[in-house]
Amino acid sequence: MKIQALAVFSALACSAQASHVQLEKDIDMFYSPNWKASERATVNDEINVHVVLKHTPERVSLLEEKLMDVSDPRSPDYGKHLSIQEVKDVLSLSPHVSYEVEQEISKYNVTDIKMNKYGDILSLQMNAKEAEKLFHTELYHHVHKNAPANIDSGVIRAIKPYHVPSTIADHVAIVEGLVRFPKREFVPTTIGENYRPKAFEGLGADDEFSSCGSSCTGYTTPAVLQKRYGYPTIGESDVADGNRMAVAEFQFQYYDDADMGAFSDACGLESPVEVASTVGGNKPSFCGVGVQACIESLLDIEYIKAVAGAIPLEVYYSGTFSLYDWAVQVNDDDSPAQVQSVSYGNDEIQQTSDDYMFTTNTEFMKAGARGVSIFFASGDQGVWGRSGSSTGKFNPDFPGGSPYVTAVGGTDFEVKSTIGDETTWADSGGGFSNTFDIPDYQADAVATYKSTATLPDASYFNNTGRGYPDISALGGQVNPYCIAYGGSGKKFTGVAGTSASSPVAAGIFAVLNNVRLSSGGAALGFLNPFLYQNADAFNDVTTGTNDAGNRKGGFDAAEGWDPATGLGTPDYTKLAQAL
């Protein structure tokens, strides 16, 4: 009887397994050193996931073709951005596919099913036990090891592979929200309230380094940035109709009026730092909880507004960390902000499947085709990435290495406290993707660099990969950025990283969009073809190496584009002339 029962059980198990098909098969790690698994999820736990439907390779290629057509200044269709319906028509997913998937999913007591506007993503809300059945996996609560003790920072994730029913497996690309952990630490590099670089103690600093009051003496300020990059001040009456910009924040990175007001007052900003709207909510009281609170978001908000003045700012917020979720939100907006800055990312190898990256790239292409410029920080660990040198190879960033975003690296001034030439910040992320090929728009620039520069050992990097960053802006620790933080409007500190570089670059291009929109033109949209065709509109950075202090190597800056600083830092006057 026991043997017979065991045989029956085995048959049932095999049948259950055969009825489901594993997705994202190249994911082989279902844990994170920064996240600790606790109790198993129960029927009382609600989860939200995206079921992403497959597009044919031919249709994705057609979307890429359309994206490049409306983004290339040499094209007769330059600036003729697509509507949601036009993007949907290009991708041309049959409604029968979504119907079949929704019918199958409905068998599992889903609380809520919503279809996005492109007809290719089903967002599900359901209890965790039903999700375990649907996706044939096990779900557990996880808590971040560095989370503040009084904050619920948990996420529910699978601890083993996930599957979908075999009846719909051919229609589903990935299920987002099951396996990827937030990799971002809670704060960028914080210098500290009492730190002052030695060069700032003397009389040699340019006046702009003292333009935000005694608490910020010696730090990079809005005045420093404006003098270096040459952009104008945008007042309320200068803002073109419809011009907007946005930043994305995750994991308790909220903002508060007291700190934004204190920063505005200290730096004498003509237009105060304010947020026009928030998608996802805000909890300003959290900004007074410990030294980690809100530093990333306040850095992003204070500096994109300091650069772009009165141009309205939106904040996308999510308590979890999913760049895919963020991209879906942006794309489902009927009129998204034309400039988006994101200071978050992972290494390509960090629990991110190729299927996930390619699917996320489709979202980036949708946004670009609709006229949205997306900026991503290139990372703060040099060529070695968050995984470090123990892998024996450089670890490129995602999304920084995506061909469909603009990656922003970080620089320092060559001479402390002196506004002038810049050099590579050693910790600025850059290199060549291990996943994506060199796009046409940068092929000549990459080839020139490789033919003239002294390259690291070939075993460290992928010689056929997309090169990044595309551009850079100040971000290093020689002149850290001064921000107001702490929830009271009374604390200031220095912060460094490409988390500063990205919103500064984004703000400058929001101002450039203002020029185009004011004259009746279209927003710049996906920027990279324009950037590489106007390389002389950047301050070329030709010194330094992004080796993160590791003697094993990095990439040297050089004349023209390089994988340490990209094309260089923005020269607003020249960029405006190139529009």
Amino acid code (one letter) for 318: S
Quick: pLDDT tens for 391-436: 889 999 999 999 999 999 999 999 999 999 999 999 999 999 999 9
Alpha-carbon distance of 490 to 252, in angstroms, equals 21
Q: Which residue do the tokens 């923005």 mark?
A: 570
Binding residues for Ca(2+), as ranges, are: 540-541, 560, 562
Q: On the CB side of 90, how many CA atoms lie within 13 Å of its CA?
A: 21
300 a catalytic residue: yes
Q: Which residue do the tokens 């075993």 mark?
A: 459
Cα dist from 416 to 172, 556, 564, whole Å: 53, 21, 20
CA–chain centroid gap for 517, Å, is 25
Q: Which residue do the tokens 């390089």 mark?
A: 562
Binding residues, as ranges, are: 540-541, 560, 562
Cα dist from 53 to 132, 133, 162, 369, 455, whole Å: 20, 20, 16, 20, 41
Supply 516's token pair: 């185009």
The confidence score (pLDDT) of residue 67 equals: 98
With CA atoms as reference, report the closest residue to 129 among 50, 39, 42: 42
Strands 406-413 and 569-570: unpaired
Fold of domain 189-578: Rossmann fold (3.40.50)
The confidence score (pLDDT) of residue 290 equals: 61
The confidence score (pLDDT) of residue 10 equals: 37
The confidence score (pLDDT) of residue 182 equals: 65
Question: Which of the 8 DSSP states describes residue 106?
Answer: G
With CA atoms as reference, report the closest residue to 363 among 52, 85, 83: 52
**Radius of gyration of the CA atoms of the chain, in A:** 24
Among 120, 296, 302, 348, the active-site one is 296
CB 412 within 8 A of CB 199: no
What does the domain layout of the chain look like in residue ranges?
19-55+93-176, 189-578
Strands annotated E in 63-211:
112-115, 121-127, 139-144, 155-158, 163-165, 172-176, 189-190
Among 300, 302, 412, 571, the active-site one is 300
Among 211, 297, 417, 499, the active-site one is 499
Cα dist from 532 to 375, 485, 568, whole Å: 15, 37, 11
What are the residue ranges of helices labelled H in 200-320?
A: 222-229, 257-267, 295-308
Phi, psi of 407 (to 5 degrees): -90, 135
What pairs with residue 495 in β-bridges?
A: 190, 481
With CA atoms as reference, report the closest residue to 315 among 290, 285, 279: 279
Question: Cis peptide leading into 399, omega within 30 of 0?
Answer: yes
The confidence score (pLDDT) of residue 489 equals: 92
CB 46 within 8 A of CB 125: yes
Burial code (b: 16+ CB inside 10 Å, e: under 16) for 217-244 equals bbbbbbbbbbebbbbeebeeebbbeebb
CB 521 within 8 A of CB 578: no
Given a cut of 50, the residues of the chain with pLDDT beneath it are: 1-17, 185-188, 191-203
Helix (H) or strand (E) holding 572: helix 572-578
With CA atoms as reference, report the closest residue to 265 among 480, 511, 481, 492: 492
CB 318 within 8 A of CB 40: no
Strands 339-342 and 245-250: parallel
Alpha-carbon distance of 77 to 66, in angstroms, equals 9
